[in-house]
Structure 1
């Protein structure tokens, strides 16, 4: 998904920008936000339900033979459509977006971003299978930054990923978020690194 060398580069970028702010950045990269195992079965059952109508009109097959064909269609399609690329292609964009947002919100809580001293944690979340990127900021920084700024960073990040520049796009996003944090929450004299800088990789 991402090499150890690139993970080290990203961790270094996070550490560098955090030197200029009391805010915290956490990067989570997930292979997928959801499995969508029911999707292939749903499409296979819909196809199986539609199968008898053409057979009834165009053939003289018995009801029992048509039932067997229905079962075969359901089994074959549920197997074929379970292939990851086909499965993800069948999931509506709105469902993938909702699943990505839910996963990002879950990671925001799980990684301790709500527990920083000044509520200035920022999560960068990627779900590669869904092509979903999201930035979530805690209240100490979210209340000071227009939502459109985060959306612009996400748009540029997804464009970079689409162009095959995953690591470079993430480093640029980290630097832009770091600049925002440095402006609004500069480092304190007693500042400590509250959250790890390492890249969190999820299967």
Structure 2
């Protein structure tokens, strides 16, 4: 009878220990996957270092060729992010805290409140710190609607700032790429929008995204500009006497 009781007490302890080990492994694997994924995509989320002066010069030449063959005027803006996304960073902290508290529950000092709070703060700080230092980690917690909204809002501001709304023929266009949000926005002024609309730029969107997936931002932008040129040629052929009202902007920055 004594042996039966001893075995009965040892079995739950053994299972609790096994559960703790599995929780540690699961949390470590989950966190490692998110961090490694963030490190893997880090290069794709860089714009400033990814486009050299030679790359930017080649893009300006590509824009000049587009403007020689059409009556449209194009500016290109590439940013690494359209917003700091503080809500996503807070969500990353909460998600790390929840996952850690759940998977590491058997190991947490539930009977020592001060130490427990310290452990919880470490989990929150780890998630927030990773979101602030690794854009790819932050990206996991940015919702699609939020990403689209911020990119489109920033694109509208760039459109106005560059004076693309001020051409006489209302034929200015903006190609805006926001890497963190994985958004490509093509905005046309009134004359372009009336004839082409938002759906006419699908080929440009696809070409740029394909280039980014291949870790070749320049190639993606060149393909996107070529797709835009093809659309503009069909609706806005070059006039007999081309007149350029705006410079061939290629703007690359962090935000």
The reply to whether TM is greater than 0.5 is yes
Q: TM-score, normalised by structure 2?
A: 0.69
* Equivalence for 1:14: 63
* Equivalence for 1:135: 186
Provide the aligned length of Structure 1 versus Structure 2.
203
Say whether 1:63 aligns with 2:105: no
Shift of 1:49: 7.0
* Equivalence for 2:84: 35
Contact 1:55-1:66 within 8 A present in 2 as well: no
* Equivalence for 1:98: 149
Q: Kindly tell me: are residues 59 and 166 of structure 1, through their superposed partners in 2, closer, same or farther at Cα, counting changes over 3 Å? A: closer
Shift of 1:48: 4.6
Deviations 1:155-181 (A, max 9, x none): 222122212332223223223322333
Shift of 1:190: 5.5
Q: Kindly tell me: are residues 61 and 123 of structure 1, through their superposed partners in 2, closer, same or farther at Cα, counting changes over 3 Å? A: same
Contact 1:23-1:120 within 8 A present in 2 as well: yes
Helix, strand or coil at the partner of 2:59: helix
Say whether 1:164 aligns with 2:195: no
Gaps of 5+ in 2: 1-49
Gaps of 5+ in 1: none
Shift of 1:189: 5.0
Q: CA RMSD in A?
A: 2.8
Q: TM-score, normalised by structure 1?
A: 0.84
Q: Kindly tell me: are residues 168 and 63 of structure 1, through their superposed partners in 2, closer, same or farther at Cα, counting changes over 3 Å? A: closer
Contact 2:72-2:236 within 8 A present in 1 as well: yes
**1: CA distance, partners of 2:220 / 2:118:** 52
Say whether 1:77 aligns with 2:127: yes
**1: CA distance, partners of 2:248 / 2:110:** 68
Contact 2:79-2:177 within 8 A present in 1 as well: yes
Deviations 1:94-144 (A, max 9, x none): 322222122112211111111111111111111122222111111111111
State the structure with bigger RCO (CA 8 A, min sep 6), 1 or 2.
Answer: 1
* Equivalence for 2:75: 26
**2: CA distance, partners of 1:129 / 1:7:** 20
Deviations 1:61-120 (A, max 9, x none): 133443333333323332233222211222223322222122112211111111111111
Deviations 1:17-44 (A, max 9, x none): 2112222111111121111234223332
Contact 1:37-1:82 within 8 A present in 2 as well: no
